[in-house]
Amino acid sequence: MKRYTDYDNFAWLYNQEWGVFANNIFPLLKEIGGENLPDKAKILDLCCGTGQLAKILTEKGYEVTGIDGSQEMLCFAQDNAPEAKFIAADARAFKLPPTFNAVFATFDALNHIMTLSELLQVFKNVYQCLASGGIFIFDLTTKHHFEVHCRDYVRITEKPDYFYVMRGDYYEKRRTSDWRCTLFRRQCKTWQRSDISLTQTHYANADVKKALREAGFKDIRVTASEPGIGPHKPTKNSFRLFYYARKP
């Protein structure tokens, strides 16, 4: 099982820098879910991170439960979305009663699941916690994204109270992108350093759909979406795919 030490170390910076994704994603989730995402639905935010999407969902009137393996991420999530309930659990091992109308897993959270067998187990856990007719919507970044955006990646960001360098690279033979972040945070008159390492992988679209069917899902649909471009049919150049699947 994955150890969450690096995700704990990453939580503060993630909360500062990457929560904005949630601000843009809800309209697309609503569009993809359609009539199967009713008002006041009971929603599970899987791999919820620091809770920005949970915050938006509770503000929209949904009853939200968030799950994440990082306890530090959940501390920020509880502050960001105080109306939501949060559970510390691994996406590959959680068990909840079949009461949810929808499960979301966004911002390429499932690209951190490193094998197809583990991804299938996540799908089975999601299926088990959905009510009949419930829907599962998640996104995955594609091989094309890894090839274009993850090779020789360097990002340097300086703010008054923190500074970080993010480096990444793509290793085609093992289908992984490895990310290394060095963060310095101002602590009174000194600076505290943290070093973080994270890894992602990509999956073939056909393998993802096969695993969804094996878990029991029906009505599987795939939509591509990139910044500045609305939902559209996936192509070989798509960077991010959104999957919709329904429990019969």
Instruction: Indicate the pairing of strand 153-159 with strand 162-171.
Output: antiparallel
Mean pLDDT of 20-49: 94
Query: In this structure, are residues 11 and 78 in contact, taking their beta carbons and an 8 Å threshold?
Result: no
For the residues of the chain, what is the DSSP string, one character each?
----HHHHHHHHHHHHHTTTHHHHHHHHHHHHHGGGS-TT-EEEEET-TTSHHHHHHHHTT-EEEEEES-HHHHHHHHHH-TTSEEEE--TTT----S-EEEEEE-TTGGGG--SHHHHHHHHHHHHHHEEEEEEEEEEEE-HHHHHHHSTTEEEEEEETTEEEEEEEEEETTTTEEEEEEEEEEEETTEEEEEEEEEEEE---HHHHHHHHHHHT-EEEEEEEEETTEEEE---TT-SEEEEEEE--
Q: Can you name the residues that pair with 226 across neighbouring β-strands?
A: 229
Q: Is the pLDDT of residue 204 over 90?
A: yes
Residue 3: the pLDDT is: 57
Mean pLDDT of 138-155: 97
In tens, the pLDDT along 65-105 reads 999 999 999 999 999 999 999 999 999 999 999 999 999 99
Could you give phi then psi for residue 235, rounded to 5 degrees?
-130, 175
Q: What is the CATH number of domain 145-201?
A: 2.20.25.110
pTM, two decimal places: 0.96
Query: In this structure, are residues 243 and 149 in contact, taking their beta carbons and an 8 Å threshold?
Result: no
CATH architecture designation of domain 5-142+202-246: 3-Layer(aba) Sandwich (3.40)
Q: How many Å apart are CA 106 and CA 98, to the nearest integer?
A: 21
Each domain of the chain, given as residue ranges in start order, spans 5-142+202-246, 145-201
Mean pLDDT of all residues in the chain? 95
Q: How far is CA 221 from CA 118, 130, 213, 218, in A?
A: 21, 18, 12, 9
Residue 21: the pLDDT is: 86
Structure tokens at 115: 């094998």
Residue 149: the pLDDT is: 96
